[in-house]
Amino acid sequence: MQNGRMSTRRSGPARSFSARSKESNTRAARSASTGFQSAQMSYEKYLALAQEEARSGNVVGAENYYQHAEHFFRLMSANRPET
């Protein structure tokens, strides 16, 4: 810093807009392919937790886990792989 001015240097490598957009597109494609499996595993996990809570008589806890399971069910529907 000189004379109270802030430096405008960038700390990382300079990338063009097109390079950044291509990178985000490949990242999005990669996450979409694994998103379905991840959502499915989370759905199954929360569904099992909800059923366990329901068996133990904890209705509020079961409803909480069912809501989490529903969230991941919706993600699975949105990220369904094309066949």
What are the tens digits of pLDDT across the range 32-51? Answer: 557 788 899 999 999 999 99
Structural domain boundaries of the chain?
36-83
pLDDT band at 72 (very low <50, low <70, confident <90, very high): very high
Using left for φ > 0, alpha for ψ between -120 and 50, and beta otherwise, residue 4 falls in left
Asked whether the whole model's pTM tops 0.75, one would answer no
2 in helix, strand or coil? strand
